[in-house]
Structure 1
Amino acid sequence: MTPSTRAPAPCSVLLAGRGARPIESHRPNGSTALEFPRIDLSPLRRRVEVSVLVRDPRHRVLLVQPAFRDDMLLPSGGVHPGESVAAAAARLLVESLHIHRPITTVRACDQAGHNFDTGAVEVLTVVVDGGVMTSAEASALSLPVGTEQLTALDWAPLDQLDRYVLPFTEQRIRAAHTAARLLVRLPWPYLGEDVEELVAA
């Protein structure tokens, strides 16, 4: 097979139309042509993350600040291979804040595509509902002693979210909070079984 007719690598994607810049290709006959590069997506570079929406009786939202960021987020983390979203959410709350919350309902999903300029991978973030803490629980909550993962914890009023989070994070939180207020539950079965049934088992 000649170079001009060589098939692309398996799972490769032509970057034309995705903001990629064409490159100048020199052909054996001495001519040049502009071609869009291909990127090998084998294995696919994407990950699934879960964020937990926890509220208090005053409708404030629990936010944390990871040590590697200047802004705040919902308690969040990656979903391990083979792990359900609900199990991942429960695990990260225990690991990062030492709290146990029932995780049964998906309130929103947010997708961030692969950034071909920075190399950032594609991320699907699933926002689950961690319920409403009592006033006493919310007041007593603090960062675990000796934690290195987080540097701050706060309860943010909805009308002040922009003081704590980035714009896209604010929209994500508002969408999930509205869904929780309206009791909108997104079906998110695991192997066809309802998450509530799996958690209750």
Structure 2
Amino acid sequence: MPDAAYYASLPRTRGAAAALLLDDLGRVLLVKPTYKDGWFLPGGVIEAGESPLEACVRECQEELGLVPRLDGLVCVDWAPPRDSVVDAANVFVFGGAISGAEIEAIRLPADELSDHVLVAPEKVPELAPSHISRRMDPCLRGMAEGRAVYLEDGREPVFGVAEA
């Protein structure tokens, strides 16, 4: 029988999930929150008992008013604590597509998001905070290669050969 006190004593890591949605021109959909500066991928915190994929779909429904067409996981990024306020988190990014009709149908919740935009991937660093924009190139590469990439704070770690 598992020891409940032991499991309760283990550290907890927060999680978030986001959708990297590209239109037919390869532009990235970003949203602008009302409660913080910068532009972000649609997404948010993974709630208790929710899978990363469920969180991504729920957040897109809440933020965009639509269920995204996702092709799969493109990135897991370990995000370190920031500003002594934000705990470390595992961020799951799912890639997908968004059509012109879906873009026209976007309905933002006015209390949470003020705008949305489609931008060329190279323009993301001009709009998004650095911890978001660092993720962009590896995520796009993962999408193109049909695989997920692992990042730490938006950067690919260097894996070495273990010494014998």
What TM-score do you get using the length of structure 1 for normalisation? 0.64
Q: Write 1 or 2 for the structure with the bigger share of helix.
A: 2
- The CA distance in 2 between the partners of 1:62 and 1:123, in whole Å, is 22
Q: 1:143 Cα shift?
A: 3.7
User: Highest CA radius of gyration, 1 or 2?
Assistant: 1
Q: 1:55 to 1:104 in 2, by over 3 A?
A: closer
- The CA distance in 1 between the partners of 2:71 and 2:25, in whole Å, is 22
Selected match of 1:105 from 62, 65, 72: 72
CA contact (8 A) 1:65 1:151 kept: yes
Residue 139 of structure 2 aligns with which residue?
176
Selected match of 2:34 from 51, 55, 67: 67
Q: 1:104 Cα shift?
A: 5.1
- Coordinate RMSD, CA, aligned: 2.4
Query: SS state of the match for residue 125, structure 1?
Result: strand
- The CA distance in 2 between the partners of 1:57 and 1:109, in whole Å, is 25
Asked if 1:57 corresponds to 2:20, the answer is: no
CA contact (8 A) 1:63 1:72 kept: yes
Asked if 1:118 corresponds to 2:81, the answer is: no
- The CA distance in 1 between the partners of 2:66 and 2:146, in whole Å, is 24
Query: Which residue identity is paired with 1:74?
Result: L
Q: 1:89 Cα shift?
A: 0.8
Query: Which residue identity is paired with 1:137?
Result: E
Larger RCO: 1 or 2 (CA < 8 Å, sep 6+)? 2
Q: 1:120 Cα shift?
A: 2.5
| Count of aligned residue pairs for this structure pair | 144
Selected match of 2:102 from 113, 133, 137: 137
Q: 1:43 Cα shift?
A: 6.6
Structure 2, unmatched stretches of 5+, are 150-164
Judge which range, 119-128 or 85-94, deviates more. Answer: 119-128
Q: For each residue in 1:144-194, what CA deviation from the matched residue of structure 2 results, as whole angstroms up to 9, or x when unmatched?
A: 3x62110111001112112211222112122111111222246xxxxxxxx
CA contact (8 A) 2:21 2:97 kept: yes
Query: SS state of the match for residue 180, structure 1?
Result: helix
- The CA distance in 2 between the partners of 1:142 and 1:88, in whole Å, is 18
Query: SS state of the match for residue 62, structure 2?
Result: helix
Structure 1, unmatched stretches of 5+, are 1-9, 12-40, 187-201
Return structure 1 stretches of 4+ with deviation > 6 angstroms.
none
Q: 1:137 to 1:102 in 2, by over 3 A?
A: closer
- The CA distance in 2 between the partners of 1:104 and 1:81, in whole Å, is 24
Residue 35 of structure 1 aligns with which residue?
none
Selected match of 1:127 from 68, 89, 93: 93
- The CA distance in 1 between the partners of 2:22 and 2:131, in whole Å, is 19
